[in-house]
Structure formats: C-alpha cells, structure tokens
Structure 1
Amino acid sequence: MGTKGIRDPYIFRKQDGKFGIVATDMLGTNWGDTSQYIHYWESEDLINFTERLIKVHNRSNMHAWAPEVFYDESRKQYGIYWAGNTDYNRIYVNYTTDFKTVSDCEVFFDPGYDVIDAHIVSDKGMHYLFFKDERASGKSIKVARSSSLSPKSFSVFTPNFITSANTEGPFVFKDKNSDSWYMYVDLFSSNGNFECWKTNDLNALSWTKVTGISVPQGVRHGSVISVNRWELETAVSRKVVTPPAPTPPPVLKGDVNADGTINSSDITVLKRYLLRRITLTEEMLLNADTNGDGAVNSSDFTLLKRYILRR
C-alpha cells in the first residue's frame, strides 16, 4: 500500500483493549520523498491484522514522519501526531475516534526550529514531549512539557541535550517495579545501535546513561507496550494461545443437612446442633465443618452465614 514501504512503527493500546500500530509511509531512505498518508494496523492478538492508509494532510510537497498516538481524555479522541515539513519540520496532529475519519492536521508543537520524532508520556498530571532537535548544532534529544495535551501548549524546559549527539527516535517507559524511567534512543549514524538513559524524575534536566544494554539487530526506532502473559505467548508462538480456565474456588463445606444445596436451612440445622438441640449424622457432621479445621463450632456457623450472605 502507499509507497510500499514503512518506517518508524509505533505500537499502542487502544481504549477498547485492541492494539494499534502507526508507521511512516516511505520506501527506502530517499529523505526527499513525500507522502500524504501514514500506515495503520489494528489487531486483537498481534497475529491477525487489518491494514489501511490514513490521509493526514493535503500538501503535495510534505512528508509525514514517525507518527505516534495519544488518547486525550478531555476530548475523548485519539491524537495522531507526526513530523511534517514546510519551511522546516514541525509536529502536527490529527484527531480521530475510529482511525478512519480524521480531522484536518494542525500544528501541535513548534519551538521555532526544525524538530522531528516526538514522543509523549504522561505522569502525575503532566505531559512530557521528547523530541529530536534537527538543527545542525543539535541532532539530539530535548524535552518539552505541558499540563494539557492541547496543541501548542508544550514548552521546552531542558536547556541542554539529554542524550549523546546523533540520536533520534526516543521512546520512554517506566519500570513497573521502581520509580525509574528509561529512555532508549536510536544512534542513527550507527545503524541499529541504541543508547539508554535513566531518571527518577521526568522534570530532570539531565539523565544518567545506562550501560550494557542490547536490542535486536537492525532495529530502528522503537516503542514499548505492556501486555499480559497470554498476549505475549500468542505473539511469540504466532498462534492464538487460549488462557486456561480459571481455577474454580474450593467447594465450601456447608450442606449440613445433605440435601444438595447450601441455604438458610443449613444455618438453622447448624445452629440447632451448636445449641445441643439435635444430633447430626456422620455425613452431616462432615458437611458442618465448614472451614475444614476438624471441629464443628461457632467459626463454622459464622463462615456459613457469610457465604450465604455473599460476604
């Protein structure tokens, strides 16, 4: 479809739980090529995909590079943001609810100079936009922030670059087991080599470099998404993995009168037994030991009552 080439795939989780992927419509490395479209795929299992092109602008001489997606809760819409060039590259956005019909593009982020490869993460009510400064003096990553996801609301707050020279395609994610945030960046002049940087505060003006990392060979740009065990095993095995049936809860002893049901009659019988008003048969005594501790007493009565009352 389109140019019959893709670059910069970005995967995300939609509000309905499905997976979405957007990517640049570009064949090869002719940076002068343009396209009015981006690629879009959708999947429930990361094996079977539907695909279509999404037209994001109407200009014949502009590209649409490195698209990514956020969900704006205030609008109840997805924002598709990407780098487009007129006199220089800015970050544009289109809004959509279905990835079929999209709004006209508008400028989303423009610090007044050439920028590409925007990536947004949110934390504690603040939104952070990582981007590549494309000027000859830069070619590295800076950060802007905003308390909203509104177009033109982001302001650059890092005075210096937070990664090495010649880095692009930042993607940032939080370690679920700590307060650490990690940022991977593509060393674009080294063909598939990445750097990794770390911080505990997204407002930091400098990050700590992480050593000893590795990524799959030949990877360019990247993204991270959380999946559950079954989604992961399905993707790796390339066949749909059916989750095992949930383990049924243990059978609750409580059919004191052995009539095949557990209801208020069992409470009545157990109460009468504890008050020494009736004698239970051996089977009934076994059923009356509701908590399975080897004795029939008030604890069994309490547990049975709570079970029947669904507490």
Structure 2
Amino acid sequence: MKKIFYTAILLLIVFFDVLGQSKKDVYLFAYFKNNGQDGLHLAYSIDAYKWTALKNDSSFLKPVVSKDKLMRDPCIIRGADGLFHMVWTVSWKDKGIGYASSKDLINWSEQQFIPVMAKEDGARNTWAPEITYDGKTKNYMIYWASTITGKFNETASEKEDGYNHRIYYVTTKDFKTFSDTKLLYEPGFNVIDASIVKDRGRFVMFLKDETREPAQKNIKIAYADQLTGPYSKASEPITGNYWAEGPTTAKIGKDWLVYFDKYRDHKYGAILSSDLKNWKDVSDQISLPKGLRHGTILTIKPSELNKLLKQ
C-alpha cells in the first residue's frame, strides 16, 4: 500500500513537471516525537495544511551528541551556500546544542556539539535553538532559550522547577567559528521558543510567554530592524485560551500561517493572518502526523521531495 501511495505521488510530481509547474516549492515540517530519542522526522505538504509523514514516520537521522543523545526541537534552514543547516536541543540540562548539515536532507554531516552556554557557570539549559540568515551581514544567527541562575530574579518563580528563561544568541558565517554568546531578548518575562523570520525590511520574532503566575503560556510577536535587535516590546497574545508553544511559520502568498503545539491538549493548532495583527484560527483545517512535536517548517523543491519519497 505504501509503495502504491508513493508511486502515485511521484506520478503527480512528473505531471506537474510536464505542466511547467515544477518550480513551485513544497512545504517540509521537521519535527521530533516522544522525547526526541530516535531523532529527526520529516513530513511534507503541498498546501501547508495537510501533512504526510515521510519514510513511514521513521527517523532520518539518529542523535549521537551529548550524554543524553536527544534530538528535540529540530530547526532546518536552507543556507546561502545551498546546504541545509540544522540545530536541535540535545538535552534538558546541557549547555550546548547539536548541529549538522546536509545537501539532500538524507545524508548528513558528522554531528557536532556547540557549547554555546559553556562560559555561563549558572546556565541550566539550552532549549529550542533556531537559525535565521541575515543576507545583509552574511551571518547566520543561532538563538535559543536559557535559564541562568541568579539572573532576572524579578520574574523568578518557584513553580516549574524555577526556570526563568531569556533568549540568547551567537552569530557565525561558516558554523565553525562563532561569536561570543549575547543576550538577544529580555521582554520582562520568562520567554522561550523564539522563531524569527524576515518580513520585507524588518525581522519578526514569534515567541512564547512562559509566565506561570499568573499563567500566560501563549504566543506573542516582537519586531526589530536588525536581526540581532533590539526587539520591540512583545505584542498582545495572538493565540487563544489554551497553552501554546513552539511557533513556526509558513508564508502562503501574502498570508502568514503560524503553527504551534497545544501541548496540554496533545494536539496542534494554527492561525492565519495577512497583516500580523488580525488572526483567524484555522486549527480545524490542518492535518498532521500523529505524535508530531515541536519543529520548524521550510520549503523544498519538488525534485528534493522526490528523493525523500524514495527513502
């Protein structure tokens, strides 16, 4: 049955090639399942609403770095060099992140551990790293959420193991040498899961307000003229009366489609906007592989999907 299904997909790709529509990108969702112990999972979509798992929802890359050997929160971007660059959370309590690159999303480079918080004695974690490329400076910015013991005590809470995050970053041109770690965003509250995209001449940061008392647990937006900031005050929540995390975006024409994990409800949600101000809930229109957890959306070419479908 699986072989018949994939054959049909391949025939559709050939059909679109014949029609001259093969330049239209396909959406790819990089994600993890369970605790991230088995590694990278991929799903694809033609319309960014209905998603199908690839490789029978088995792993494309198993994690090997850090003592915990996890691959949570994978973020993949296509670099200016044509390679796919990926970072991920290696552990709940480590001071670094994982990194690997690939030409085709199938064969990956040797996995590296990047110790981005190693110089911070009080750093407790390094969660949900992402990468955004700045075409103006030719730099990649890697950013993530960390709690550093003793910092930002004004927003500290005893609940949820006392975690009190801010967003930190490094920059790199080659993923071999990195700048010193710096603070990227201090919104005046516990913040995690930043995801930054470019919108014409500005950068848009989707983020999770992690405040526990009184509970926020929602997605907000901040803006900056430069990738490294400074970023604006966070907006009002763009998600509803539920706990949400792990935002990732897909651009469909002029519309912004933001996916997020309704993690208390054990399902995904999505909202749509043309202006980043007025949002419509489209959660009832999406379909995702069972068990999909926090990840990121990117676009690939039909020819690249063709290779993935053969795995």
Shared topology, TM-score over 0.5? Answer: yes
- Measure, in 2, the Cα distance between the counterparts of 1:123 and 1:214: 27
- 2:3 is aligned to none
- 2:87 is aligned to 22
- 2:293 is aligned to 220
Query: Structure 1 residue 104 and structure 2 residue 154: aligned?
Result: no
- 1:230 is aligned to 303
1:217 CA displacement: 0.9
1:38 to 80, 97, 109: 97
- Measure, in 2, the Cα distance between the counterparts of 1:164 and 1:199: 18
Determine if contact 1:54/1:100 at 8 Å carries over to the other structure: no
- Measure, in 2, the Cα distance between the counterparts of 1:126 and 1:75: 14
- Measure, in 2, the Cα distance between the counterparts of 1:10 and 1:198: 21
- Measure, in 1, the Cα distance between the counterparts of 2:307 and 2:133: 26
Determine if contact 1:138/1:165 at 8 Å carries over to the other structure: no
1:89 to 165, 171, 175: 165
1:105 CA displacement: 0.8
Determine if contact 2:129/2:145 at 8 Å carries over to the other structure: yes
Query: Structure 1 residue 80 and structure 2 residue 157: aligned?
Result: no
CA offsets, 1:98-124, max 9 Å, x none?
112211210011101100000111112
% identical aligned pairs: 36
CA offsets, 1:158-207, max 9 Å, x none?
234434421000001111xx32110001011233x1001000112x1x41
Q: Which has the higher contact order (CA 8 A, sep 6+)?
A: 2
- Measure, in 2, the Cα distance between the counterparts of 1:35 and 1:80: 16
1:155 to 204, 222, 232: 232
1:157 CA displacement: 4.8
- Measure, in 2, the Cα distance between the counterparts of 1:43 and 1:110: 33
- 2:274 is aligned to 200
- Measure, in 2, the Cα distance between the counterparts of 1:47 and 1:108: 32
- Measure, in 2, the Cα distance between the counterparts of 1:12 and 1:70: 8
- Measure, in 2, the Cα distance between the counterparts of 1:6 and 1:72: 25
Amino acid aligned to 2:114:
I
Larger radius of gyration between Structure 1 and Structure 2: 1
Cα 1:48–1:155 change in 2 (3 A) is same
- Measure, in 1, the Cα distance between the counterparts of 2:239 and 2:104: 36
- Measure, in 2, the Cα distance between the counterparts of 1:135 and 1:107: 19
User: Alignment RMSD, CA only?
Assistant: 1.5
Cα 1:4–1:157 change in 2 (3 A) is closer
- Measure, in 1, the Cα distance between the counterparts of 2:166 and 2:234: 18
Which 5+ residue runs of structure 2 have no aligned equivalent?
1-64, 152-163
- 1:57 is aligned to 117
Which 5+ residue runs of structure 1 have no aligned equivalent?
27-32, 239-311
Determine if contact 1:118/1:130 at 8 Å carries over to the other structure: yes
Cα 1:157–1:112 change in 2 (3 A) is closer
Matches of residues 1-311 of structure 1 in structure 2 within 5 Å?
A: 1-2=65-66, 3-26=68-91, 33-50=92-109, 51-58=111-118, 59-60=120-121, 61-86=123-148, 87=151, 88-136=164-212, 137-151=215-229, 153-175=230-252, 178-191=253-266, 193-202=267-276, 204=277, 206-210=278-282, 211-238=284-311
Determine if contact 1:89/1:114 at 8 Å carries over to the other structure: yes
Give runs of ≥4 in structure 1 deviating > 6 Å.
none
More deviation, 155-164/90-99 = 155-164
- Measure, in 1, the Cα distance between the counterparts of 2:289 and 2:194: 22
- Measure, in 1, the Cα distance between the counterparts of 2:258 and 2:129: 18
More deviation, 135-144/55-64 = 55-64
More deviation, 156-165/38-47 = 156-165
- 2:7 is aligned to none
- Measure, in 2, the Cα distance between the counterparts of 1:163 and 1:48: 40
What SS does the corresponding residue of 1:231 show, helix, strand or coil? helix
- Measure, in 2, the Cα distance between the counterparts of 1:128 and 1:49: 30
Amino acid aligned to 2:102:
S
